Amino acid sequence: MADDAPGSQELTLADDAATGKVSSAPSRSGQGEASAPEPLTAVQRWRNIAFLSVGWCVAVSVLFIQVSNTPGVVLRLTGSRGLATLSFGIMICMGAVACLPGAATMHRYGRRYTYLAGGLVALGGAVLQCFGMDSENEGLLIVGSVLQGPMYGLANSLRFASAEFALPHERPRALAALVAGALFSAVTGPELARRARDMIDGSPTTGAYVIACILYVVQIVSVCFLVQWHRVPRKKELPVGAPPEPAKPGQDPVRAPRPYAAVVTHCLTSVDFVLAMGAAAWAFGWMASLMGATPVLMSSNGRSRDDSTTVLEVHLISMFLPGFVSGRTVQKFGALNNLLFGFLVLAAGTGVYFVPDAEWMYFVALVLLGVGWNFAYVAASVLGTQYVARQKAAPRDVVMMQGLFDTGVLAVMSTGTMSVGYAIDGIGKDSTLGYFMAIGGVATIVALGLAVALWVRRPGTEAEAGAEGGAREKA
Q: What is the pLDDT of residue 256?
A: 63
Report the C-alpha gap between 88 and 291 in whole angstroms: 11
Report the C-alpha gap between 146 and 453 in whole angstroms: 42
* pLDDT one-digit tens code per residue, 240-273: 554 555 555 555 555 666 777 888 888 888 888 8
| Cα radius of gyration rounded to whole Å, the chain | 22
* pLDDT one-digit tens code per residue, 91-118: 888 888 888 888 778 777 877 788 889 9
Q: What is the pLDDT of residue 290?
A: 85
Task: Give per-residue burial for 144-182: e unless 16+ CB within 10 Å, then b.
Answer: bbbbbbbbbbbbbbbbbbbbbbbbeebbbbbbbbbbbbb
Report the C-alpha gap between 128 and 213 in whole angstroms: 10
Query: pLDDT tens string for the chain (475 positions)?
Result: 434 433 333 333 333 444 344 333 344 334 344 444 566 677 777 877 877 777 888 888 888 888 778 887 888 888 777 777 777 788 888 888 888 888 778 777 877 788 889 999 999 999 999 888 888 888 888 899 899 989 988 887 776 677 777 777 777 777 667 766 677 777 777 777 777 777 777 777 788 888 899 999 988 887 776 555 544 444 555 555 545 555 555 555 556 667 778 888 888 888 888 888 888 988 888 888 888 788 778 877 777 777 877 888 888 888 888 877 887 888 888 888 888 899 899 989 888 888 877 778 888 999 999 999 989 988 888 888 888 888 777 777 887 888 888 888 888 888 887 777 778 777 777 788 787 778 777 777 776 776 666 666 554 444 444 444 444 434 3
Torsion, CA 132, CA 133, CA 138, CA 142, rounded to 10? 70
C-alpha to C-alpha distances, 97 to 125, 148, 235, nearest whole angstrom: 17, 12, 28
C-alpha to C-alpha distances, 249 to 19, 23, 125, 246, nearest whole angstrom: 16, 10, 51, 10
Q: What is the pLDDT of residue 134?
A: 80
Structural domains for the chain: 8-21+38-234+257-474 (1.20.1250.20)
Please work out, in degrees rounded to the nearest 5, the angle formed at the alpha carbon of residue 223 by the alpha carbons of 200 and 142: 45
- Reported pTM: 0.69
Report the C-alpha gap between 197 and 215 in whole angstroms: 15
Report the C-alpha gap between 178 and 323 in whole angstroms: 8
Report the C-alpha gap between 181 and 47 in whole angstroms: 12
Report the C-alpha gap between 92 and 436 in whole angstroms: 19
Sign, CA torsion 328/290/276/113: negative
Report the C-alpha gap between 89 and 417 in whole angstroms: 5
Could you write out the DSSP letters of every residue in 206-271? Answer: HHHHHHHHHHHHHHHHHHHHT--GGGSPPPP-PPTTPPPBPPPTTSPPBPPPPPHHHHHHHHHT-H
319 alpha carbon, distance to own chain's centre: 13
Count of helix runs (H) and strand runs (E) in the chain: 18, 0
Q: What is the pLDDT of residue 207?
A: 85
Q: What is the pLDDT of residue 181?
A: 67
